[in-house]
Structure 1
Amino acid sequence: MTTDSPRWFKSSYSSNGGNCVEVAANVPGIVPVRDSKDPHGPALAFPAASWRSFVAEVKGNSFDAA
């Protein structure tokens, strides 16, 4: 990733007792994502443009929630 430590955060909508994903927005060019229950475990890293597209689709209700 980078020599700077990722600054992890959860959504302000997160209220399910910690069963969340966390993202770090301070890593240039990528968005790391991890399980909040396992903060020392592995993280997935997505290209920033792909993450922005994913978030836009989620916000636009483009996914079937069934």
Structure 2
Amino acid sequence: MSLEWRKSSYSSNGGDCVEVGWHKSSDSSNGSACVEVATAPSEVLVRDTKDRESGHLTVPAVAWHELLSRLS
């Protein structure tokens, strides 16, 4: 499995910034513990921000997109 990497939002400052495969839920800004998601071509990985060491849940990309479309 190869994760899709994306540049840090701070990359626009001209400096060398880290690229990340995992990104936090947009609701993480409210101070609550949320989930992180990493995407691969055919699957999506989901993990708990409070317990990253416990691993992740792997969801087929098609099912993930279907879930998101039902939630919107």
Match of residue 31, structure 1, among 44, 47, 50: 44
Classify the secondary structure of the residue corresponding to 1:56: helix
Name the one with the larger helix percent: 2
1:42 aligns with 2:55: yes
Name the one with the larger strand percent: 2
Equivalence for 1:64: none
Q: TM-score, normalised by structure 2?
A: 0.65
Match of residue 67, structure 2, among 51, 54, 60: 54
**In the aligned structure 2, how far is the partner of 1:49 from the partner of 1:55?**
10
Classify the secondary structure of the residue corresponding to 2:51: coil
Q: CA RMSD for the aligned pairs?
A: 2.1
- Equivalent pairs counted in the alignment come to 57
Deviations for 1:5-58, whole angstroms, at most 9, x for unmatched residues? 871101233224251011102x22000000011122220000000000000111
Q: TM-score, normalised by structure 1?
A: 0.70
Equivalence for 1:14: 28
- In the TM superposition, structure 1's runs of 4+ consecutive aligned residues that sit over 6 Å from their partners are none
